[in-house]
Amino acid sequence: MTTETDATDTQETPDKTPDPAGSPRRRAVNDGGRPPLHLTRGRMVGAAAGIAGIVLLILLPLLNLSLPGVLPGPTYTPGSLQLLAMCMLMAAAALTYHLLLGVAGLLSFGHALYFGAGVYGLGIILQNLDIPLLPAMGLTLLVVIVLAHVVGSISLRVSGIPFAMVTLAFAQAGSVVVGRNPEGATGGDEGLTLRTDNLPDFLVGVVNTRNLYWLALAVLVAVFIIVTWVQSSRAGHVAAAVRENELRVRVLGLQPYLVKLLIFVVSAVLVSIIGMVFLLLQSGAVPRAVSADLTITLLVMVVLGGVGSRWGAVIGGVFYTILDQRLTALANSDAIDALPDVLRVPLSEPLFILGTLFILVVLFLPGGLTGTAQRLAQRRSRRGADRVQKSREILEEAA
């Protein structure tokens, strides 16, 4: 896939003094200073590849392709479409997390609160009010917007690690509500089954999985475009500048707090919409949708893919979802069952493998999959190394 749409493009800082002997760090900061011609051509190639990819994805439910080991069946079967749709929703959710961490440098441990608010909010509204889907979604959005403003404005009073802890605490409160099952609204541990009375027919039932697949694809594309747009907007630039040097931005008379709040709210709103589609796809809500585990999953996806890169978030989301699904299948397989305990126990726990993989990536592959791929593919140029450096800087700045 193309790499020209990376976060690095929007983060160049003006450089007055040419510095032939400059350190790698300096170069990394000035990554955007490539010749504009190359950049434009790269962008065009990237856009063309992107459009070709999207067309292929649109056609997928009509094709009979098999990817043994990755998909459970040919691409037109509901099982495969369901998994692919899940991959795309998770990729989209990871993109909204990228907006927080990669763009604004906010390490949130409470992102699941908004995803869960979308899932449960829409579920509860459909359950209890006799209104059609779109107004119900609008109502849910309203709730999420208010919620995100309240939580965001309080949490953003602290930054770095305390911010992580505080967002976690708020999300935990949400998780507790869902678990408590107030007035039977959330279904407690059992979760909530989607009431389909007021849904349009084309979104209901296994036969219509491909419609949900297309919906998920549309969501992913839309989220990608919105995230790109936010990142290249004025707010995105200020957020990136804040991340790098909050003091300097303050001195310039800008309001880091408001910009961060804006990004926080946008990211929350987007992920809640993804949550709503998730509800439709899964035909129900489960407590995991609002758990800290989900936030951590998103974080893992972003880091696996490569912090600071939009494509990294997408790839991380897809990769994680498929790996998780495959590992679960593996855990229940006979081959694993026959192993001695020392091997069987760890290998039959997908999260053990994913957690270990994650640790290894953080330790040995800074820049994640995309950073590493770039480094391997482009040994001659410095872009891969720059990607890695950029990821590290973003993480440093989030502290």
Partner 1 sequence: MSTVVLLLFTGLGLGALYFLVAAGLSLIYGLMGVLNFAHGAFLTLGAFTGWEIARRTGADSWWTFLLSLLVGAVAGAVFAAFTEFVLIRRLYRRHIEQVLITVGLSLAAVALFDGIWGTDAVFIQGPAWFKETTEILGARIPNDRFICIIAAVLVLLALVFFLKNTRYGMIIRAGVENRSMVTALGIDVRKAFTLVFTIGGAAAGLGGVLASHYFGYVSPLLGGSLLIFAFIVTVIGGLGSLTGAAIAAVAVAVLQQFANFYLGGTGDFVVVLALALVLLFRPSGLLGRTS
Partner 2 sequence: MTATAQAGPILRIEGLNAHIAGQQVVEDVSFTVPATGITALLGRNGVGKTSTIKAIIGLIDRSGLVELDGVRVEKEPTYKIIRSGVGYVPEDREVFSKLTVAENLRLAERDAAPRRQLVEELFPDLLARSGQMAGTLSGGQQQMVSLARALLNTNKILLVDEPTKGLAPKIVAEVAETLAEAAKTVPILLVEQNLQVVRQLAAGAVVLSGGKVVHTGNALEFLDDDGLTQRLLGVSTEAVSHEASPHAEARHAAASQEKGAAL
Ligand X SMILES: Nc1ncnc2c1ncn2[C@@H]1O[C@H](COP(=O)(O)OP(=O)(O)O)[C@@H](O)[C@H]1O
CB 259 within 8 A of CB 230: no
Nearer to ligand X, 30 or 140 (CB): 30
Q: How far is the CB of 163 from ligand X (least distance, A)?
A: 19
Closest by CA to 301, choosing from 112, 149, 156, is: 112
Nearer to ligand X, 13 or 245 (CB): 245
Choose, by CB under 8 A, the member of 51, 67, 146, 176 that binds partner 1: 176
The angle subtended at Cα 384 by Cα 383 and Cα 386, nearest 5°, is 60
Residues 3-22, one symbol each (x = binds partner 2 by CB under 8 A, - = not), give ----------x-----x-xx
The angle subtended at Cα 108 by Cα 105 and Cα 113, nearest 5°, is 140
Please work out the total of residues on this chain that contact ligand X, with binding judged by CB under 6 A.
Answer: 2
Alpha-carbon gap, residue 35 to 57, rounded angstroms: 33
Angle, nearest 10°, between helix axes 256-282 and 234-244?
110
345 binds partner 1 (CB under 8 A): yes
Binding region for partner 1 (CB under 8 A) out of 123-131, 227-235, 279-287, 389-397: 389-397
Residue facing ligand X at closest CB distance? 245
Q: Which two tokens stand for residue 139?
A: 């109502």
Residues 110-139, one symbol each (x = binds partner 1 by CB under 8 A, - = not), give ------------------------------
165 binds partner 1 (CB under 8 A): yes
Alpha-carbon gap, residue 32 to 237, rounded angstroms: 13
Closest by CA to 296, choosing from 152, 167, 155, 176, is: 167
59 binds partner 1 (CB under 8 A): no
Alpha-carbon gap, residue 80 to 57, rounded angstroms: 13
Site for ligand X in 247-286 (CB under 6 A): 247
Nearer to partner 2, 32 or 73 (CB): 32
286 binds partner 1 (CB under 8 A): no
Site for partner 2 in 29-58 (CB under 8 A): 29
Burial code (b: 16+ CB inside 10 Å, e: under 16) for 40-58 equals eebeeebeeebeeeeeebe
| CB atoms closer than 10 angstroms to residue 20 | 4
Residue ranges that bind partner 2, judged by CB under 8 A: 13, 19, 21-23, 25-26, 29, 244-245, 393, 397
Binding site for partner 1 (CB under 8 A): 107, 154-155, 157-158, 160-162, 164-166, 168-170, 172-173, 176-177, 180, 292, 296, 299-300, 303, 345-346, 348-352, 354-356, 358-359, 362-363, 366, 392, 395-396, 398-399
